[in-house]
Structure 1
Amino acid sequence: MSPGLPSQHRALVFETVEAGFQLKTIPTLQPIPGSAVVRIAAAGVLSYSREIYNGQRHYEFPKPIVGGFSAVGHVAALGPDAASLRPGQLVYVDCVVRGRDDPSALFLSAIHEGFSDGSRRLMRDVWRDGPMAEFARAPLENCIALDEARLCRGLGYSPLDLMYMCYLLVPYGGLRDIGLEPGETVVVCPATGGFGGAGVQVAVAMGARVIAMGRNESELARLKEHVTKGTPGANVETVKITGDDDTDTAALQACGTIDAVLDISPPAAAKSTYLKSAIRALRRNGRCSMMGYVMDFMPGVKVMGSNITLKGKLMYEREDMLQFVKMLESGLFPKGKEFVDTKAFGLENWKEGFDVAAEYTGVGRSVVFTP
């Protein structure tokens, strides 16, 4: 038994769709080589967590399982091969787990087992449980060190606020992958959801001008107000999605030269045309990061004739996380509720937390469990 670790702790355990989660007392996992055990301060709740665990999204994962995905907490114990992490250190625990001998064998912690035999085996036998618990064990490389003195006492973020990283990191991975530069103009589509709104915040922090597309005009207005209030001088314009390809293309072209596009569409938008419009509006040699689910996007003549680069991106790399933390610690993001307004729930209130997360969406909004 590692010093400082209790023999047991509370966790949300999922056994069947019919039974849902049960708050149980389970044995506390001990550190093994290549791992850290983290005392969880805040476990993130996705806007679609309810859909994952009620079977609506048909995600595959082993059962029983402790739920969750990413978290923020303090290192409680370390495996013998830890080189830089130390007990008591604040860390971001990332949900993207990769095979060390095959990075393509990846899965999302307690969400999806991935698509290979290797990823399924890793999830089932090694890194099975998520962080909706008082303690969680995670790979060392998934524990990203955070400067608590700088972030919490200096810049005024709480550990709960830092859980908003789970939304910001995804678009940052896509924007960094296509080399977004300060001063460039990027279209974020759609921008009214949690990841899209976070994409606008990230692009502004990277020094870009942003054109935010969305169907909900009131949410587009809230998005612009939130981002420009938090970052005075931010250049954010909005374009309403009409569903007509030509109309939306013309609206984007009226905004001037467009260098890049970030597509972060949810599954419900698979048949939408706005991505095609955004690509048609790109300048010659423009780039598009495709992180979403839109299927009918290819304006072939435009892509060929204007040397457009289309790059698929799943989540982000570890190097992206390290660079993002540098941006955050450098003060490039706003503070307080101009950064994020977090709603917190205890583990025993998991149903309410899932319900609120499904509605409390968009830029600057986050829901967490606090064990």
Structure 2
Amino acid sequence: MATTESLPQSHRALVLKSPDQPLVVEVRPLPQLTSGSAIVRNLNVPLVSYSRDVWSGKRGVPMITPMVPGGTCVARVAAVGPDATSLKPGQLVYVHNFIASRDNPDELVLFGFTSGFSPGTQSMVAKEWRDATLAEYSKVPLENCIPLDETRLLGSPEQGGLGYTVDELAYLGFPLVAYGGLRDIDLKPGETIVIAPATGQFGGAAVQMALAMGAATIIAMGRNTQALQRVESLDPTRIKTLQMIGDWEKELEALKAFGPIDAFFDISPREAKDSSHYKSCISALRRNGRASLMGGLGDMTIPGFAMVFGNLQLKGRWMWDREHIAGFMRLVNSGQLKLGPRGGNEITGKFGLEQWDAAFDNAAEKARLGQMTLMIP
């Protein structure tokens, strides 16, 4: 039999009936537990800067409505299916929203954001994973629940803990995305990496992640000099900054002044597809250098000469692989990846489900390095 705690019959959820209609808070029956799933009580849900653009249809991603939107969250396990072997009710978990089909790992979808682009993901979302985390309770795949060591993460430093709060743990999803790309290109301790752009939520998290992974020098690029100063303040001895000016040759000349560059990480928004930094950063790589492309979402200019004669490795990456999670959590639990104010992070606002409109505005306006808007179901 399934393992459960005492659960309510109903709960409150934020519902998207159609992208052209305002979201509404509804009282709904509690999700039904099935094999391979858990019911979790959502404690906080971080918003990405483009939340409104996605759920209003502006981004043009396919969605099956009505749906409960959402994303990653920190939660407590309320019930587990009969096939669960380690998760227990009451356990604190980080729920990520990157769902893979169990019988076809090539079918991948972002739970709460989109129904995907293939018949397989459309079916998976329509039949099982339509409703995400902007609700008091959610049904989620067992494998998407990452156990959190409460004693280590929430305990006081005097007792060997890291002293974080539950809300500070909500930030984990930003560096986890970056970790997927950095692991892909095997970033090693002591190496030099250029990260561009480096001032937003995900680019900034890549800087934090590269610090935790032991990069000796991180060259952070961006257009806003004030935002670059904020990035540099994380570790002025290891982080160097360079302004993106739209002239790839001048950017390349400036990059060469830093010496040999081992790796390049990009997580640009779609608006940056014509940016000069692709060409300058790839051209600046040493022979046998590596590049991870996690952003863009459009065609870009790649310097073929540098690629071929530099023997460069260029890898695309969407999110992460399941086996990456254990390594990521080791960096979290060891304290190498710093969270909260000591890691340069800031919770810019907390909002209830009824305050979704203000929450979306706050998320869009405050989306620099380490900034996070939370919804509290």
TM-score in terms of structure 1 length: 0.96
- Measure how far apart 1:56 and its partner are: 1.1
Is 1:212 the counterpart of 2:215? The answer is no
Residue from 12, 37, 41 that aligns with 1:10: 12
**Which SS does the other structure have where 1:163 is aligned?**
helix
Give 3-state SS (helix, strand or coil) of 1:164's partner. Answer: helix
Aligned to 2:115: 113
Please tell me whether residue 238 in structure 1 is matched to residue 256 in structure 2.
Answer: no
**Which residues of 2 match residues 1-371 of structure 1 at below 5 A?**
2-153=4-155, 154-208=161-215, 209-225=217-233, 227-228=234-235, 235-293=238-296, 295-339=299-343, 340-342=345-347, 343-371=349-377
Provide, for residues 172-192 of structure 1, a one-character-per-residue CA deviation record: whole Å limited to 9, x for no partner.
100001100000001111001
Task: Letter of the 1:353 partner, please give it.
Answer: A
Shift of 1:234: 5.0
Q: Unaligned 5+ residue runs, structure 1?
A: none
The RMSD of aligned alpha carbons is: 1.3
Displaced runs of 4+ in structure 1, greater than 3 A? none
* Correspondence for 2:158: none
The residue identity in structure 2 corresponding to 1:222 is R
Letter in 1 for 2:268: S
Greater shift in the superposed pair: 194-203 or 16-25: 16-25
- TM-score when normalising by structure 2: 0.95
Aligned partners of 2:301 and 2:164: how far apart in 1? 39
Q: Alpha-carbon deviation of 1:55?
A: 1.6
In 1: Cα distance, 2:91 partner to 2:312 partner: 44
- The one-letter code of the counterpart of 2:166 is P
Cα distance in 2 for partners of 1:197, 1:131 equals: 25
**Deviation at residue 295 of structure 1 after TM alignment:** 2.5
In structure 2, how many angstroms separate the alpha carbons of the residues matched to 1:325 and 1:78? 22
Aligned length: 366
Distance in 2 (CA, whole Å) between partners of 1:175 and 1:245 is: 24
The alpha-carbon deviation at position 220 of structure 1 amounts to 0.3
Q: Post-superposition shift, 1:335?
A: 4.6
The answer on whether the counterparts of 1:67 and 1:131 sit within 8 Å (CA) in structure 2 is yes
Distance 1:18 1:347 in 2: 19
Percent identity between matched residues is 45
